[in-house]
Amino acid sequence: MNRDHSQVKIHFRYTAYGSTYRPSRYGGKPLNCSMSRYGCGGSKPPAPPTPLPPPPWLPPPPVFVPSDCRMDDARVSCMTDVPRSRILDHPFNAGNRKNGANDLAYWYAGNSESCTQRSQQYVCFGASPAGDQPITIGDVHFYPDGKRQFGDRLENEADKRAAMLPLVGAEGAEELGPNIERHEAVHSRQWASSASATAFALKYFREVAASEYSVGTPAHANRYEVEANLWWGGYLRWSPAQFVIPGEEPKS
């Protein structure tokens, strides 16, 4: 049977978001459902739920240390070197990556002998923006001396806290004893709380100037240093003469 195909009209239409033309005699169904963004139903599915924001504090993955090492061990053999890039790739505080503080720390860490990862910060040895004093920028504690001297300081601080135990107990020793790592870790969180690294640096140095003016030292009236515990930072030193028996007057 002969047909005049010139008289047969097949109308094509294009369905929005589809991936191919399809003739209307198929009822508007896609020729290949897998090629359509919304499948054969043709309707847009509900939007997926908004993902939760990442937690504000995610500790970096651990690094390899010898099996006999404890957490934050003071022994030099337990302070495994890490690449400087880890400061950017695995921040301790998300705010320090966002506000640019870790970028600043990464840049200055190029002057350091080496860096290691502790439980609350990275520590870089051999150079400090503060000269002969430790200082924190972002998630990095810059210690002016070498790794061995840092380990010696940690052991010395632990001995002092142990000597305080009989007089003030465990809580008193932890609160009033020297602990440079805990002190500097507070500074990391202070950096992270600021919208920009530049803004925090300006506020910190204003506090230094105000403290120098009011009490003659850069730390004792500096709210950032007070918040980080002056005892931990070594700005105040506890001695047995400061021990007070309840109900008695302090010793002179």
122 forms beta bridges with: 117, 140
Task: Give this prediction's pTM.
Answer: 0.74
Neighbours of 111 (CB within 10 A): 12
CA–CA dist 162, 165 (Å, integer)? 5
Nearest to 54 by CA among 97, 83, 106, 88: 97
39, 33 contact by CB (below 8 A): yes
Pairing of strands 12-13, 22-23: antiparallel
CA–CA dist 147, 209 (Å, integer)? 31
How distant, in Å, are the alpha carbons of 88, 95, 205, 229 from that of 54? 17, 11, 31, 29
pLDDT tens digit string along 41-77?
A: 555 666 777 766 555 556 788 787 777 888 788 898 8
DSSP 8-state symbol, 227: H
Please tell me whether residue 137 adopts helix, strand or coil conformation.
strand
pLDDT at residue number 217: 94
136, 122 contact by CB (below 8 A): no
54-63 in b/e form (b: 16+ CB < 10 A) is eeeeeeeeee
pLDDT at residue number 64: 77
pLDDT at residue number 144: 97
Name, in order, each residue with C-beta under 8 angstroms of 31's C-beta and a sequence gap of 6 or more: 20, 22
48, 85 contact by CB (below 8 A): no
pLDDT at residue number 15: 45
What are the backbone angles phi and psi of residue 62, rounded to the nearest 5°? Answer: -65, 155
CA–CA dist 138, 26 (Å, integer)? 63
227, 189 contact by CB (below 8 A): no
CA–CA dist 193, 207 (Å, integer)? 16
E strand segments, 30-118:
114-117
| Weakly modelled stretches of the chain, pLDDT under 70 | 1-46, 51-58, 242-252
Nearest to 122 by CA among 79, 74, 78, 64: 79
CA–CA dist 61, 100 (Å, integer)? 21
Please tell me whether residue 165 adopts helix, strand or coil conformation.
helix
CA–CA dist 189, 94 (Å, integer)? 10
pLDDT at residue number 38: 53
